[in-house]
Amino acid sequence: MGYLIRGARLADPRTGQTDACDILIEGDIFAQIALAGSIDVAGHEVLEADGLIALPGLIDVHVHLREPGFSHKETIATGTQAAAAGGFTQVCCMPNTSPVTDTPEVVRFITHEAKRHGFATVHPIAAMTYGLKGEALTDFGALKKAGAVAFSDDGRGLQSAGMMKRALQLSREQGMPIAVHAEDETLSAGGHLHDGAVAHSLSIPGIPTEAETTMIARDILLAQATGAHVHMCHVSPETAVAAIREGKRRGVRVTAEVTPHHLLLTEEEALTKGAAAKVNPPLRAATDRRACIEGFLDGTLDIVATDHAPHTPEEKARSIPEAPFGFTGIEISLPLMYTAFVQSGLLSIAELAARMSWRPAQLFGLPGGFVAAGQSADLTLLDPSEVRKVEPDSFRSLGKTTPFAGRKLTGWPVATFYQGRLVYDRVYTQGEV
C-alpha cells in the first residue's frame, strides 16, 4: 500500500528540468519516478495531480520552534505542523530556547519531540556559547554527536572576534557550519527599526546597516583565516551582499540565506503595520532590498530561509519599541517566493526548488533535497493556479503576526508528504490528516 501521484510536473533542482511525472510512494520511500502515464500498478491510492507541481520537500534552515521554554509562543508540535502546511519536511531550529540548546540533553529533547509528533524532521542548531552569553564556547563534539547540524548564537551576534575565530576552528574540525547572526551590539544597541527615513520620522532609534555588515566582513576574514564554513543568516544590507560576493570571489567558504521579508519588504512597512513589521535584522531601505534581490538572483545569497520567529499576538500588539523582534513565516514562504519570483519569470520553479530544498540540504549536510527512487518520500505539491489571501488566523503556528497579512498570493502548497505519509492535504481529503 502506498500512493501513486499521477501527472504532476516534477521540478528537479539538480537538472533544472520540470517534466510531467508519475511518482510512486511505497512505505516511507519513493519507489519509482517515471514520465506521466507510464506507471501502472494496483493496490495504491491514486492521487490525480494534473496541473499541480511536485517539489522535493522544502527545507528551512532557520526557524524558531520556541521549545523548550517558550511554548506559549510555539511548540515543536505546532511549529512542525506549520512547516508541513508550508510545504516543509525538514527544518533547522535555532537555540534561543530556555534552557538554551547548549547541551546534548536539549538537542536530544528537540529531535525526540519532533519524531514523536511526526510532521517534519527537526535538526537542532546548537548554541555556540553557553547561554548565548558570548563568554564560553560549548562542547561542539558532544553537541554534534547528539544530533546538532550547525552552531549559532542566533538572536545575538558573538561580539568577540577572538572567540569567533576559535569557534570557526572548532566547527571546521567537526565539519559543520557556523550560522552567523551578524550584529555588533555597540552599533545596534537600543535600535528597533532600520536606521533610516522611517525610524527618523517616527523618532524611534535605528539599527544601522554597519551593525550587520561589520560583523559579516569580520567573519568572512575569519573564515578565510581558518578555512571554516561560515553561513550568514538573514542578510539584509546592500553592503553585506557586496561583502559576501567579494568573499565568494576570493574563494572563502561563505554561504548566505535571505528571507522572503528582506526580499519583498522595506522599512516603509513599519508606517502602516507597526510592530508587525519589527524584525531583526530590520526591514531596510529600498536600495538594500534591491541588492538582496540581485544577490539572490546571482547566487551570492544561496538560499531562502524564513527566520520563522513566532511571538504571541499580545506581544506583537505592543508599540514598536515594546514589541519583540520577529514574526511568523513558514506557512507563506512558498507562495511568497512563487508569486514574486516564479510567476514573474525571474526564476524557474526548478531553480526555486534548488534554493528552498536541494541547496539548503547541501549547505547543512542534510539528507534529501531531491526526488529519486530510494530516497525518503518527502514531497510538496503546489497548485500554481491557487490564488488566496494570507489569513494569519488560519495559521497552524501559534504566531499569528505577519506584515504580509491580507496579501494576495499565487502558488500555495496543497499537499505535503513526509516520509511517505500525507501530513498536510487540502486537495485529496479536503482536510487535515
The answer to whether residues 223 and 172 touch, using CB atoms and an 8 Å cutoff, is no
Distance CA(56)–CA(356), nearest Å, equals 9
Which residue among 184, 307, 383, 425 is the active-site one? 307
Contact string (CB under 6 A) for ligand DOR, positions 3-42, x = contact: ----------------------------------------
Say whether residue 154 binds Zn ion (CB under 5 A): yes
Question: Which entry of Zn ion, ligand DOR, none binds 267, CB below 5 to 8 A by partner kind?
Answer: none
What is the closest distance, in whole angstroms, from the C-beta atom of residue 326 to Zn ion in the complex?
8
Helix/strand/coil percentages in the chain, nearest 5: 35, 25, 40
Q: Of 291-299, 319-327, 335-343, 344-352, which part binds ligand DOR (CB under 6 A)?
A: 319-327
Q: Which of 309, 323, 361, 371 binds ligand DOR (CB under 6 A)?
A: 309
Helix (H) or strand (E) holding 293: helix 286-297
Question: Which entry of Zn ion, ligand DOR, none binds 309, CB below 5 to 8 A by partner kind?
Answer: ligand DOR
| Residue 383 annotated among the catalytic residues of the structure | no
Which residues inside 149-168 make contact with ligand DOR, applying CB under 6 A? 154-155
> What are phi and psi for residue 303, nearest 5 degrees?
-140, 165
Say whether residue 262 binds ligand DOR (CB under 6 A): no
Cα torsion 313, 319, 331, 176: sign: negative
Distance CA(152)–CA(97), nearest Å, equals 12
Distance CA(380)–CA(387), nearest Å, equals 17
**Runs of H (alpha helix) within 193-253:** 197-202, 209-226, 238-249
Distance CA(408)–CA(392), nearest Å, equals 13
Say whether residue 247 binds ligand DOR (CB under 6 A): no
What is the closest distance, in whole angstroms, from the C-beta atom of residue 406 to Zn ion in the complex?
26
Helix (H) or strand (E) holding 424: strand 421-425
Q: Which of 209, 280, 333, 375 binds ligand DOR (CB under 6 A)?
A: 280
Q: Which of 23, 84, 279, 303 binds ligand DOR (CB under 6 A)?
A: 279
Question: Which entry of ligand DOR, Zn ion, none binds 390, CB below 5 to 8 A by partner kind?
Answer: none
Q: Could you list the residues that contact ligand DOR (CB under 6 A)?
A: 64, 96, 154-155, 181, 279-280, 309, 324-326
